[in-house]
Amino acid sequence: MNQLRRAFLKNAGAVGTFAIAIATGLFKPGAAFAAAWNNLAFTAKDPAEAMKNAGYGGATESSDIVIKAPDIAENGAVVPVTATSNIPGTTSMAIFVEKNPAPMIADFEFSNGAEPYISTRIKMAKTSIVRVTVKAGGKNYTSSREVKVTIGGCGG
C-alpha cells in the first residue's frame, strides 16, 4: 500500500471532514487517481499537525536532505525550491512552509526509477521555515531552512 493511500485511509475515519471536502469542491469523487486528496493534511493550520496527517510524524533531523532555496525571495508568490534526499531507500518527500495559512505544500511519491528529487516554485505568505520531510526505509526524516520574504518598495 503506498504512503499516500495509507495516510488517507488513516484520516478517512473523520467522515465529517470528508463530507466538507466534497461540498467545497476540494475533492472530486471519481478522479482516476490512486489515492484521494489528503484533505486533513492540506488543510491543517499547524505545521506539526500537517506533517502528522501526511504520515511524516516523528521525523528525525537529517543533513542528507538538501534544500536549495533563496535567502531572500524576490517574490513570495513564486519561490523556487529544489529538494534532494540522499538517504538510501527514500520513497516519498513532502514540502511544508511553516508560517503559511496551510503549511503543507505538496507530497510526492517516487517509484520505478524516479529519483528523490523535486524542483518546484512555491508560495510563501511571509518569512518562514521551509521544511522538507522524507520517508525512507519506513522511517521519517526532515530538514529545513529559512527563506525571508520582504514586501517591496517600488518593485511594482
Partner 1 sequence: MKRKLTFIMAGLLLGCASTGPAKGPEEDRNAMIKHYQQIFPDIKFENYIYGALAMNPDAKNQYDSFMEFPSYSIDLEKGKRMWESPFKNGKQFSSCFPNGGKNVAGNYPYFDNAVKRVVTFENAINACLKANGEQELKYGEKEMGLLTAYARSLSDGMNVNVKVEGSAALAAYEKGKAYYATRNGQLNFSCKSCHVQAAGKFIRSDQLSMMIGQASHWPEFRGGTDIVTLQGRFKQCEKNVRAKPKEADSEEYNNLEYYLTYMSNGLPMQTPVFRK
Partner 2 sequence: MADAMKMRATMEGNVVDVKVLIQHPMDTGLMKDKNDKLIPAFFINQVVATLNGKTVLESQWGVGIAKNPFIGFRIKGGKPGDKVGINAVDNLGTKYDGEVVVA
Q: What is the DSSP string of 28-58?
A: -TT-S-SS---HHHHH-SSHHHHHHHTT-TT
**Among 76, 117, 81, residue whose Cα is nearest residue 96:** 81
**Among 28, 119, 132, residue whose Cα is nearest residue 82:** 119
Q: Which grid coordinates belong to 93?
A: 518527500
Strands 90-97 and 72-73, by their bridges, are unpaired
CA–CA distance from 54 to each of 36, 69, 119, 151, 155 (Å)?
12, 23, 20, 31, 37
Does residue 74 interact with partner 1 by CB under 8 A? Answer: yes
Please select the residue that binds partner 2; options are 106, 137, 139, 150, rule is CB under 8 A. Answer: 106
CA–CA distance from 98 to each of 35, 118, 137, 144 (Å)?
25, 19, 25, 10
Does residue 146 interact with partner 1 by CB under 8 A? Answer: no
Does residue 4 interact with partner 2 by CB under 8 A? Answer: yes
**In angstroms, what is the minimal distance from the CB of 106 to partner 2?**
5
Please select the residue that binds partner 2; options are 9, 19, 72, 78, rule is CB under 8 A. Answer: 78
Does residue 72 interact with partner 1 by CB under 8 A? Answer: yes
Does residue 75 interact with partner 1 by CB under 8 A? Answer: yes
Decide which of partner 1, partner 2, none touches 38; Cβ closer than 5 to 8 Å per partner kind: partner 2
Does residue 73 interact with partner 1 by CB under 8 A? Answer: yes
Q: Which residues bind partner 2 (CB under 8 A)?
A: 2, 4, 24-28, 30-35, 37-38, 42, 77-79, 82, 97, 100-115, 117-123
> Footprint of partner 1 on this chain (CB under 8 A)?
70-75, 77-80, 121, 150-156
